[in-house]
Amino acid sequence: MTKQLLKNGDVIDLAGQVSADSIRVPAATPFTEIQTGLLTQELKQKTVLLEFSNFADGRGFSLAKMLKRDLPSSTTLAATGAIIPDQVALAWQCGFDSIIVSDELWHRCGPDSWMV
């Protein structure tokens, strides 16, 4: 089961799909697409899932900052994909509302290590 980690430390077990009105956005979205504002137009969804393809690629942190600024406050921003426990604190500081962690990653890194 996938886990959803919330800022207040709560962990929710997610069964299957996160939320029907969510949209996935790659953290590696080209700058030109971000810049034209097209992205923010498209993203007036309830939940935006920012997908990290590689934990060493930090584009998602900057993108989160911009999206948090440009999106309506009703939109929530979740990080997903290749995130490691050592990035949890950074994710909160950059504006993510939650982090979705796969079962595999959750257990391999050790459940305790996700609690910052």
List residues near another protein by CB under 8 A: 28, 31, 34-35, 54-59, 61-63, 65-66, 69, 84, 86-87, 89-90, 93-94, 108-110, 113
Residues 6, 96 contacting (CB under 8 angstroms): no
Do 98 and 4 contact (CB within 8 A), yes or no?
Answer: yes
**Sheet with 47-52, side-by-side order of all strands:** 11-14, 2-6, 98-101, 76-81, 47-52, 22-26
| CB nearer another protein, residue 17 or residue 41 | 41
Nearer to another protein, 15 or 56 (CB): 56
Task: State how far the Cα of 77 lies from the Cα of 48, in Å rounded to an integer.
Answer: 5
CB closer to another protein out of 18 and 84: 84
Minimum CB separation of residue 86 from another protein in Å reads: 6
Query: Cβ 82 to another protein, closest distance in Å?
Result: 9
